[in-house]
Structure 1
């Protein structure tokens, strides 16, 4: 009973559908993973770049302030005028509020000092206020607020820190600044940030303190502008190394404590880290950049869900489009399978009606008209098959006859006349030298070799027999050359009983001897036999001069010509050793034959032959 699941239409539909599903799924998954990685990387890069750019902008603002302090510090004119201005004052003058109470020389110094500080601030006004303090109670102001004032060092929270910081700057956290607030139209108290440095005379003795001030909103303007454009996206905080929040102002420290605490285990080279919001329990991405210049840390906080929203949208759209395309492809495979099935049924009926007595009868071809060229051609081929079958059978018989003839010629063409000639000449020389025992041994080996070569009882022998007579052949030459010729066998015992074509190893040894004796002795011939994955291989290698390139090219040309024409060449008695072996391996093992020629790394050459192991029934 026929199985409906084994019909052609079902198999084609199932096969096409599986191929489409597998290929399409792999492709979609690969594209999704690739694009999602790009989207995720771009998203994470965005918060990292935002933290980095924000930190750089803050550094730039503080660097502008610091540049003013350095201009003042390194200006000898400013320091000399400040010392001249403060040195001639009495205690009452320090508290005076008008210039009339200042001596004329100090008044001139004050005016020059004001002009120089105005130049130091510059027209772009990187700072809004500059103060010069001495270590008593006198301070000189220039900027929005001008003139001399007095101050109490013991009441200033920054005084001790600045005087103990001999070589560096001190950035004071933001504080309400009522003095500077009155110069703005806003009714709210403005905050300012101050940067302090000590300045020294030419003897490197501290002479006073320089303070520059800038409005808080000016320094953090870039952050404020960004948050105004993105009110529901990132949160940005700035805190110093003491975990004091600098931005935003007047925020509850405990609300941001988890993010600040996370910084202690945060690698500044990392792009981000994952943290759980203590209130909403939502996963958030945290990116922190630390500034060595300001010692401030810029933290960017954003919901992971919001940041990766484009990735989620892409995933949904990808799945939706993929399902639609997959459904369309499966429907297309169904109709394609059905279209192929109908013409095949017609071809099946045609084949079923072909009978043996119709061989040679060529009916008028009938068109299938399936719409598929291949099936139409297949239909015509089956109709004309009976007329071509006879020719094919004749060609097959002819091919078998040629193969048998090639085997017979190969078996009759193995004995190299040079071998007989050299052996007989060696026997003659040994006879003149009364080397009777060697002559007897050589004659016995030669007799055994001739008997083995001329025997036609079987076209195949086991490897053990082939190696036995190969060794006799080598012994004939070793009697002649003595210790100059050395050889070795390394054969897997499991392959000794395998059947191989007769006289297929000895010609390789003969070929090796021909090349190895062209160089100075000693001469080495090594025969190795192995079995791998149901295939046998035998390699004959030597330490001779190697093959001549012209001879190898000629051999390869003959092999290529045989492969293309499929015609066996006429085999000559001499000079056909390697080609003879190739032809017999080709006849015996077809595509599973092994025939390789290679140069050895330490000199000489090697020839490897082999084939598959035929299991005996």
Structure 2
């Protein structure tokens, strides 16, 4: 008894399974590595993009404040009116001290009003800042915004005073709790404000005061606040300045963020403007991803802080899914390899020898089943059975092909048998005899000539003709009938010239005219026959109409029934509707154009019948 290990199915199954496991494992490992790396890069790029966007939004708000301060600082009108206001205010104060009863009007009030108008114009109609202050160095400050007017101030009580005096340009202070600005916000939370300062110079570049523009901190950090509402990783955002002071969050625990500030300053000190790095939180021990961005405009540094576990959460979910899918696919692949090994169990050489010994005459006969392979393997016997079934199906296919060819030949024979209506020939000859008795020689010559042309066209070997020739043949046919019927028959041709060179099956229009004439002559004359041809995109269309009684319901039903029978059985009927019957026109259109043709028979709303045929401008297209 042969060993099962030498069974073809076992060998194929083990070989295919080993190949699938090795190749699939390599592909899965590579795909996981590539995808995980791509997810990490996308997550990192997204974090960098968000950090840069937040910093840009913060810089944008601070630039608006800076632009207002520059507008004020470089405005000669502001300088002149501020100096005038300070002088008028000082004169008024001196006059009040020396002789208060003799002081006429307070010119400083008018100066204050003018200064207020100038500052409002300098700020602009969009009000990019909430408050503007002009400080002199004698302890007086003038405000414009929600706080208007003059008041005294103590320079020593202002923590920013000396820093602004020593600054070479703008000076941006840290956010501070602003009770004054909180009054103008409909919120129970305490509001913070951010101020930008500049020294204010006269026309001789001598400092005469300080310009302060103030904005709500929440508006400046609106990008951070919006992001905090939408983020999915519980990111923290830290903003600190070059001195290591925390700008945002407003009341942050400096000890908590000290490692991030120190880590960032070390990297920024190495010349980096922005970077992303992995970082282990010394407090929690958790791995975090930090994205740093430095602003050249403000000197502030923005840090996006997110735990790697949360950031790579989609990667974790992907890993689980990938493992499940990989195992499922691997099991499916092994099952398919087993199925393939079960089916492919016969050597190609023996199949070739068996097929080579079979003749076409043997297909589907008992000779095939009589041949034994003597393989000694069950698999080969099963494959032999499959081959027998295949030979039977091949025999059926060949029979169907021969039947199709026979049907096509039958259809052509039907068309040839129906090409000429004997009644038409008999009637025409009888008419010629009657005309000869009346000595109507001229009409006889014309009728015989047309009849000769008709017979020549019908009996030619060509199976197709251009529409121009087909219409000429149809015109001769109508001319013969006009000679017979005289003025009782009225004919009209209206055909687009683009149709004339198109090749169509021969005798495809004249039978429609013959059918129309047959039904039209059943009623009182005149009998009107109209042939119209149009071109619509790549399809030609011929419509033949008459003014007869139209098709009866029985005739239309019988026509549809015969067409359905031909489609269902594949055998075209030989019945004719007189002469070149409508069913034969349908058959030859189908043979010439396949499924892409038009054939419609109906009654016209105003009376009479209409038959429409059409097809592609190229037969078979």
TM-score, length basis structure 1:
0.54
Aligned twin of 2:153: 151
Aligned twin of 2:11: 11
Aligned twin of 1:230: 231
SS at match of 1:336: helix
Partner Cα separation in structure 2 for residue 370 and residue 194 of structure 1? 94
Post-superposition offset of 1:370: 6.1
SS at match of 1:288: strand
Post-superposition offset of 1:88: 3.0
1:547-566 alignment, distance < 5 Å: none
Partner Cα separation in structure 2 for residue 5 and residue 288 of structure 1? 65
Deviations 1:281-314 (A, max 9, x none): 2111111111111111111111111111111111
Aligned twin of 1:54: 54
Post-superposition offset of 1:173: 0.6
Question: Are the structure 2 counterparts of residues 325 and 231 from structure 1 closer, same or farther at C-alpha, using a change threshold of 3 Å?
Answer: closer
Q: 2:115 aligns with which of 113, 116, 119?
A: 113
Partner Cα separation in structure 1 for residue 50 and residue 145 of structure 2? 33
CA contact (8 A) 2:287 2:307 kept: yes
SS at match of 1:272: strand
Question: Are the structure 2 counterparts of residues 141 and 344 from structure 1 closer, same or farther at C-alpha, using a change threshold of 3 Å?
Answer: same
Aligned twin of 1:302: 306
Aligned twin of 2:371: 366
Aligned twin of 1:27: 27
Aligned twin of 1:252: 253
Post-superposition offset of 1:215: 1.2
Aligned twin of 1:87: 87
Deviations 1:341-369 (A, max 9, x none): 3x459969x99xxxxxxxxxxx9982668
Deviations 1:167-207 (A, max 9, x none): x1000111122222233344444221100001222222222
Query: Does 2:327 match 1:323?
Result: yes
CA contact (8 A) 1:72 1:120 kept: yes
Post-superposition offset of 1:7: 4.3
Partner Cα separation in structure 2 for residue 83 and residue 131 of structure 1? 15
Question: Are the structure 2 counterparts of residues 53 and 122 from structure 1 closer, same or farther at C-alpha, using a change threshold of 3 Å?
Answer: same
Partner Cα separation in structure 2 for residue 279 and residue 102 of structure 1? 71
Post-superposition offset of 1:50: 1.1
CA contact (8 A) 2:92 2:106 kept: no
1:83-482 alignment, distance < 5 Å: 83-90=83-90, 93=93, 104-166=106-168, 168-230=169-231, 233-266=234-267, 268=272, 271-341=275-345, 343-344=346-347, 366=371
Partner Cα separation in structure 1 for residue 20 and residue 239 of structure 2? 54
SS at match of 1:294: coil
Aligned twin of 1:78: 78
Post-superposition offset of 1:23: 2.2
SS at match of 2:229: helix
Partner Cα separation in structure 2 for residue 66 and residue 193 of structure 1? 12
Post-superposition offset of 1:72: 0.3
Post-superposition offset of 1:59: 0.2
Count, aligned residues: 361
Question: Are the structure 2 counterparts of residues 150 and 371 from structure 1 closer, same or farther at C-alpha, using a change threshold of 3 Å?
Answer: farther
Question: Are the structure 2 counterparts of residues 255 and 181 from structure 1 closer, same or farther at C-alpha, using a change threshold of 3 Å?
Answer: same
CA contact (8 A) 1:94 1:150 kept: no
CA contact (8 A) 1:195 1:212 kept: yes
CA contact (8 A) 1:289 1:297 kept: yes
SS at match of 1:192: strand
Q: CA RMSD in A?
A: 3.4
SS at match of 1:43: helix
SS at match of 1:125: coil
Post-superposition offset of 1:157: 1.3
Aligned twin of 1:576: none
Question: Are the structure 2 counterparts of residues 373 and 91 from structure 1 closer, same or farther at C-alpha, using a change threshold of 3 Å?
Answer: farther
Question: Are the structure 2 counterparts of residues 261 and 344 from structure 1 closer, same or farther at C-alpha, using a change threshold of 3 Å?
Answer: same
Post-superposition offset of 1:220: 1.5
Partner Cα separation in structure 2 for residue 127 and residue 139 of structure 1? 18
Partner Cα separation in structure 1 for residue 191 and residue 94 of structure 2? 28
Gaps of 5+ in 1: 352-362, 381-617
Post-superposition offset of 1:118: 1.1
CA contact (8 A) 1:172 1:193 kept: yes
Question: Are the structure 2 counterparts of residues 82 and 339 from structure 1 closer, same or farther at C-alpha, using a change threshold of 3 Å?
Answer: same
SS at match of 1:195: strand
Post-superposition offset of 1:34: 2.5
Post-superposition offset of 1:159: 1.2
Question: Are the structure 2 counterparts of residues 316 and 216 from structure 1 closer, same or farther at C-alpha, using a change threshold of 3 Å?
Answer: same
Partner Cα separation in structure 2 for residue 70 and residue 317 of structure 1? 58
CA contact (8 A) 1:127 1:212 kept: yes
